[in-house]
Amino acid sequence: MSNIRGSVAAAPEPDDRPVDEIECGSDGGDDSCCAHADGAEEDCCCGSHEERADGGHDDHAGAGGCACCGGDADDDEKMWGAPFIIGVVLFAAGFIFENFGHSIVGAFTSGAAMESLLRWGPAAVLLISYLLIGRHVLTTAFKNILRGRVFDENFLMTIASIGAFVIGEYPEAVAVMLFYEVGEYFQGRAVRHSRKSISALLDIRPDTANIQVDGEIKEIAAERVNVGDVILIRPGDKVPLDGTVVSGNSSMDTKALTGESLPTDVGEGDTVLSGSINGQGLLNVRVTKRFSESTASKIIDLVEHAGTKKAKTENFITVFARYYTPAVVAIAAALAILPPILGAGTFADWVYRGLVFLVVSCPCALVISIPISFFGGIGASSARGILVKGGNYLEALNRVDTVIFDKTGTLTAGAFRVTAVMAAEGVREDRVLRIAAGAESSSTHPIAVSIIEKFREVGGEIDLDEIGDIVEKPGFGVRARVKDDVVLVGNTRLMDEEDVSYPRIETAGTMVCVAVNGQYTGMLLVADEVKADSRKTVDGLRRRGIGRVLMFTGDNAATAAKIGAELGLDDCEAGLLPHRKVEALERVLAEKAAAEPDEKKRGKTVFVGDGINDAPVLARADVGFAMGGLGSDAAIEAADIVIMNDEPSKILTALDIAKKTKKIVWENIGFALGIKAVVLALAAVGIANMWEAVFADVGVALLATLNALRAGRVDG
């Protein structure tokens, strides 16, 4: 098992200013919003919120909007606000005014006043409608042009609609914007329904510590505690700072840090990490790291800033528009300039045709059918308990070549069971189990619970009248009287302390020794169990062409090796704290970057986890899957896709839906472009007008929508 070394640089302290006072371009420590790390101001979400693939923009929901632009997380909800609705009403009024104005206005006036009203009235109404409906697209296109990103879908919508205004096709200009906004709404609606509204991030770091001052225990701010101070950790307390145990014994719940459900026994000289929860013992701990450098603080910083290092996963329509837009603009320009130069007509005639061509080229059907296709894929995923936080992540699943799993709670059940009972010579196994269950009958320790459950599974009943004098020794085990015998049940440290000889066994899992009257009686092996469909998942990934399947775990190397061999994984990394998991992932990504420098050709890396300790690496991976049934809020918040029933095989279903969705997208693109090519050819020779193109687009969009429903026809 490889040992990953290195350290994680401390992230900048968050800006304490109110979110609406932090201006775009400032480095107020708010990299989580705009990805301004290293001064990369061009990556700001302002004006192009959808580019934040890591979902960072959504972190501001309910907090005043984006720290840069004041934008709300749910732009599609704002779109359906009063300005948009007023714009739609004005569009309907303008359309009626333009087509039936003579009949309506003629009933009230005539002459020059009527002609003037009929000439400029519809144009004025539709212009206002256009600005209200398309305001987001227009401002985004303008801002992107200033940043040097010209050829995107916003530019395409803008130039096509402005061209329609130039040639006097006012209703068509508004229709272009309306179609586009409706298409984006459908995908946004799917995302809203599949996204978990979880605001709690990482409540693992207590802000206060108990310290002895002048003979009294006082609670002070953890930031004021210095290295070398001794703090008191009471039973049930969260550890506020990293340190070394000076006195006391206990069991530490480190699940928030390592993901492992099994408590870790600690005593004098052992290291305890902030974010751990103390068990039954009272501990005095000498602080070894300041509050800002503690393990829990590092995890929080990692989650807040890991997303800024994630490569953006672009929306499909954005990628498509990057190539389609310059192509149609170039053809329209050639159509307007070349024929007159070659003597085939006047400039005025061909410039008009060029503008018509440009307007007709606006892919209304595409900008609806592509989001609708992803809407179908996201909806199909949701129906199967897979919540996808954006169509871009569904698209990214088509390029996955590496999948990395957490162990506990992801590949394994995360619940401990007695997997073996080994009795000493001359002793029956059922007696070992009965004695251990009796001694542990009053304990709530996870190992004790698993022993009692095992005893009850085989039909045993604990007679509490036979048990007494129970003394629990935190970090060691328990001493009790069972009938007339003195029983010891605990780890090897308890056996050593009581001078009990026992066999030394190397095995994956936790050994619980049992001794009666100072004599070794037997041993129980407690371990986590592999989920029923974990092997099926790994095999299914292989069949789908996934080249590497790895495991990162906070558990020990022996257990990791056993699980890895059982499931047929390519490699396992053991003993990893959260920042070490991020380092391990960074190394995998660096190896892939070295093998394929072109990011567009490089395969995507998926990480699958469930605990708070997985949140940083989930945020850093190209696509993060979180187990939502038993997973922590922090993991679900950091992930891009959430599996609600905790079955790892749902990853296979997500991959299949992503593949089916991409196929449908390309079918819709081919169909829409085929119809568009016919209409464009007719427009180039002056036969087709804008309305014929619009009606063709409506028909294509309807058929594309029906085709998108096929995304749900995937087994799983």
d(CA 587, CA 607): 14
Q: Do 268 and 243 meet the contact criterion of CB atoms below 8 Å apart? A: no
Own/partner long-range contacts of 91-99 (Cβ < 8 Å, ≥24 apart)? 91/126, 91/129, 91/133, 91/171, 91/174, 91/175, 91/178, 93/125, 94/122, 94/125, 94/126, 94/129, 94/170, 94/171, 94/174, 95/126, 95/171, 97/121, 97/122, 97/125, 98/122, 98/126, 98/170, 98/171
Q: Do 473 and 494 meet the contact criterion of CB atoms below 8 Å apart? A: yes
Q: Which candidate, 642, 660, 647, places its Cα nearest to that of 714?
A: 660
Q: Cα dist. 407→403, 461, 582, 607, 645 in Å?
A: 13, 33, 15, 11, 16
Q: Do 410 and 533 meet the contact criterion of CB atoms below 8 Å apart? A: no
Phi-psi region of 11 (alpha: psi -120 to 50; beta: other; left: phi over 0): beta
The SS3 of residue 395 is: helix
DSSP annotation string for 543-581 = HTT--EEEEE-SS-HHHHHHHHHHHT-SEEE-S--HHHH
Q: Is 406 a catalytic residue?
A: yes
CA–CA–CA angle 257, 258, 259 (5° rounding): 100
The one catalytic residue in 152, 265, 406, 646 is 406
Q: In terms of C-beta density within 10 A (0-12 exposed, 13-18 middle, 19 or more buried), how is residue 125 classed?
A: buried
d(CA 8, CA 141): 38
495: which residues sit within 8 A by CB, 6+ positions away?
Answer: 488, 501, 502, 513, 515, 520
Q: Do 645 and 385 meet the contact criterion of CB atoms below 8 Å apart? A: yes
DSSP annotation string for 16-32 = -S-GGGPPTT--SS-HH
**Biggest alpha carbon–alpha carbon distance for the chain:** 117
Beta bridge partners of 512: 524
Q: Which candidate, 365, 298, 382, places its Cα nearest to that of 680?
A: 365
Gyration radius (Cα) of the chain, Å? 33
Active site residues: 406
